[in-house]
Every structure is written in C-alpha cells, then in structure tokens.
A and B are shown apart, each in its own frame.
Chain A
Amino acid sequence: EPEVTQTPSHQVTQMGQEVILRCVPISNHLYFYWYRQILGQKVEFLVSFYNNEISEKSEIFDDQFSVERPDGSNFTLKIRSTKLEDSAMYFCAIARDSLSGANVLTFGAGSRLTVL
C-alpha cells in the first residue's frame, strides 16, 4: 500500500472550472506539501501545511489556490478557476522521519490535471 494516495490520477477540465485534488497519507501526519511539475519542467513547490495551517507558500500559490484538511486524514488542493497553464502533474508529499536530519519527503504518484 502506498504511503501517500492521490486522487484522481487524471482529471480533464474546462478552463474556468474548479478542481479539487485529494491526498490521503497512510498514517496521520502533521506536515503536508503540494508540488507540481509542468510537462518538461522542474518540480516546483506550491505550499506546505502544518498542523492545519499554511506554513509556507510559493509565488505560484496565488488566490486561486487553497488547501484544506477537511477531516483527520484527507488533505486537499483546490484550484478555484483553472487556467490553461495550470495543466501539470500535482504531487502531494509528507515529511518523514530522517536520521540524517534532511527534509526527506515521500511523494504520492501524482494527479495529472489537463485544462482545456
């Protein structure tokens, strides 16, 4: 069983529509992250979420994005009004214990969003 499960695996939507991407870790975690990767480009940080609050967000994470933890296990990324340039692979990640002290993240398989 994967440590982080993301749904849907692929979503196609019309420009201007709202999209909700979901993330469920295998066990309770306090720290969540969302990253995205536009095709052919690098993996980019969107937002980190700690103890039910946004702890850090990037320049990409503007007012059309929001994150929620609607219950103890689900973690969602909402894009309010999708644009063509939002087409990307969206990865949810959790921080895992690391003896080395490094910020090691465990990623889900991703949700591919295609905006038409």
Chain B
Amino acid sequence: DQQVKQNSPSLSVQEGRISILNCDYTNSMFDYFLWYKKYPAEGPTFLISISSIKDKNEDGRFTVFLNKSAKHLSLHIVPSQPGDSAVYFCAASYGNNRLAFGKGNQVVVIP
C-alpha cells in the first residue's frame, strides 16, 4: 500500500534556512492532507493540514502547498530552527476515515 510516498528520507538544513519536504500520493479521493511531526519516544504531533480544494495553507513558519494535478504536496519550514529537528510524516484522509501515512522524513537543523 503506497498511497502516500515520501522520498529522500533525510534532510539536513542550516538554522535560519528553508526546509522543504515533499510528498506524493496516488488516491485522487483524498480530501485532506496533513503533516505530523514526531520526536523520539513521542507520538506524532499534528502540525498543519490542507483541504484538497485549496492550494496553500500557512501557519506561522509552516506552509503547505498542494498541487492536485501532480498529486504532490510540500511542507515549507522557514526559518528552520534546531527544535524543528524531528521526523515529519505526510498523511492523507478521505472523509472521516483512516489516515494513510508516508514513511517519514528525518529533518536535522544544524545550529
């Protein structure tokens, strides 16, 4: 089941620069896309979401872009901070059903 794909498993970025995480999906029925952040020994924490009828949603330093025709979304973190070092999961849902997660991207922000 590869409905949600995250390539490039790890990313290193300098503090203050932009982090860009990418996610591709296959199911055109998904109506919401979400990003979760996960620290070691903790559960995933909700970060930001976007409806399939929008192409951008912004919340502070976090912006999610959605390109429906390409079935692609991305998460931009700017400026990146050391506390952003975590694993980031892309997830998608249809209706009120299960979330389908990607494998996650490890982000390391170098001070």
Spell out A's residues near B (CB within 8 Å).
4, 33, 35, 41-45, 48, 56, 58, 91, 93, 95, 98, 100-110
Provide the residues of chain B in CB contact with A93, threshold 8 Å: 43
The size class of the interface chain B forms with chain A is 20 to 34
A-facing residues in B52-111 (Cβ within 8 Å): 89, 91, 93, 95-104
Q: How many A-B residue pairs have CB under 8 A?
A: 64
Asked if B26 CB lies within 8 Å of chain A CBs, one says no
CB pair A105–B99 under 8 Å, yes or no, is yes
* A109 with B43: CB separation less than 8 A: yes
A47: nearest chain-B partner, CB-CB: B98
B41 at the interface (CB under 8 A from A): yes
Interchain CA distance A9-B46 in the complex, whole Å: 21
- Cross-chain contact B32 with A103 (CB below 8 angstroms): yes
Determine the residue in chain A with the shortest Cβ distance to B2.
A42
